[in-house]
């Protein structure tokens, strides 16, 4: 028997890194369903532009996910303007591409602060608001790099493995309550974050495809959200293989070259922005 789909009309949804990419596409999809969307982003001007495009019911708010006080102020403002928080989408993230041996300390610290600590901040703060009402849904944007080690993005892969583990642990702690957790694991997504990536090896999906999967998981809750869905079966099958066999399959598919054979000129603008992605500067979001 099919599960009854949940209604999103009137729900209060906060999205981190919501001014562009997956965050923006998700905000658009939610707004079409009548949700009241709070877009959090360090680039407040761009967030305001996105909110204006969405129309009534959308608000833009300043947010640095690496700063706990900033995150709490963001959720406070979202609730003041919309009402009690129903959904949090932890989307903000950055992905520099570099051989690990050459990666700077600044680079891996920024990724940990934004990709992991930002998700920890958001998940915990949202739980504290949702548990008294025994209601809510937290969506954490991880990656299929959170299920496999991808050369060229070692630190990014590490942060996404951590997001998967965090989400699984929190799901266990919330069992029996009316609060859902979803972990979204896209393949390469055609956004600025993947500019210049060797997409000939893996067919990318669009940000709108990820947004559709998020909406579906909110309407019919589930934990594992693979985009595309078929990749979930591939990754589960690979996990059952001997390591040597799984690595051979990856090399055959070209995934070992996906993030190493990149067009650095095409990524230059993104990499520069990602290198200054905290504080009062423009963030790089999924």
Residue 279: pLDDT above 50? no
The pLDDT confidence band at residue 284, using thresholds 50, 70 and 90, is very low
Query: Which of 71, 74, 108, 156 is the catalytic position?
Result: 156
Give me the long-range contacts of 71-74 (CB less than 8 A, separation at least 24).
71/118, 71/121, 71/122, 71/125, 72/125, 74/14, 74/16, 74/38, 74/40
Spell out the alpha helix ranges (H) of 57-153. 68-82, 105-111, 118-130
270 noted as active-site residue? no
Tell me the average pLDDT across 120-135: 98
What is residue 282's predicted lDDT score, i.e. its pLDDT?
40
Q: Which among 167, 193, 187 has a CA at the least distance from the CA of 227?
A: 187
4: which DSSP letter?
P
For residue 77, give Cα distances in angstroms to 61, 74, 92, 132.
8, 5, 18, 19
Residue 263: pLDDT above 70? no
Tell me the average pLDDT across 79-101: 95
Q: pTM score, two decimals?
A: 0.89
Task: Provide Rg for the chain, Cα atoms.
Answer: 18
7 vs 202, residue with greater confidence: 7
Residue 22: pLDDT above 80? yes
For residue 264, give Cα distances in angstroms to 98, 137, 260.
10, 38, 10
Weakest mean pLDDT among 38-47, 100-109, 199-208 = 199-208
Residue 244: pLDDT above 90? no
What is residue 262's predicted lDDT score, i.e. its pLDDT?
62
86 vs 200, residue with greater confidence: 86
pLDDT tens digits along 40-53: 999 999 999 999 99
Percent of the chain with pLDDT over 70: 84
pLDDT tens digits along 155-175: 999 999 999 999 999 999 999
The superfamily in CATH containing domain 12-274 is: NAD(P)-binding Rossmann-like Domain (3.40.50.720)
The per-residue pLDDT of the chain, averaged, comes to 88
The pLDDT confidence band at residue 67, using thresholds 50, 70 and 90, is very high
What is residue 261's predicted lDDT score, i.e. its pLDDT?
61
H or E element at residue 40 = strand 36-41
109 vs 232, residue with greater confidence: 109
For residue 129, give Cα distances in angstroms to 111, 159, 203.
26, 25, 39
């Amino acid at each position: 028997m099919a599960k009854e789909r949940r209604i999103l009309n009137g729900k209060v949804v906060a999205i981190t890194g919501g001014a562009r990419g997956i965050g923006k596409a998700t905000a658009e999809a939610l707004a079409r369903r009548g949700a009241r969307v709070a877009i959090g982003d360090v680039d407040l001007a761009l967030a305001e532009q996105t909110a204006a495009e969405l129309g009534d019911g959308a608000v833009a708010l300043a947010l640095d996910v690496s700063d706990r006080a900033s995150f709490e102020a963001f959720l406070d403002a979202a609730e003041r303007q919309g009402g009690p928080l129903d959904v949090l989408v932890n989307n903000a993230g950055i992905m520099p591409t570099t051989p690990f041996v050459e990666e700077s300390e600044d680079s891996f610290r920024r990724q940990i602060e934004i990709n992991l600590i930002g998700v920890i901040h958001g998940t915990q703060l949202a739980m504290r608001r949702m548990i008294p009402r025994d209601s809510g849904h937290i969506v954490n944007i991880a990656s299929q790099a959170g299920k496999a080690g991808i050369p060229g993005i070692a630190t990014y892969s590490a942060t996404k493995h951590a997001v998967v583990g965090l989400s699984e642990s929190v799901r266990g702690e919330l069992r029996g309550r009316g609060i859902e957790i979803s972990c979204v694991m896209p393949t390469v997504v055609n956004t600025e974050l993947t500019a210049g990536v060797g997409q000939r090896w893996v067919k990318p999906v669009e940000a709108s495809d990820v947004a559709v999967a998020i909406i579906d998981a909110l309407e019919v809750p589930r934990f594992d959200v693979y985009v595309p869905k078929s990749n979930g079966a591939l990754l589960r099958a690979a996990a059952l293989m001997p390591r040597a066999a799984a690595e051979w399959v990856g090399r055959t598919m070209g995934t070992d070259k996906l993030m190493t054979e990149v067009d650095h000129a095409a990524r230059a603008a993104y990499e520069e922005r990602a290198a200054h992605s905290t504080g009062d500067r423009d963030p790089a979001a999924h």
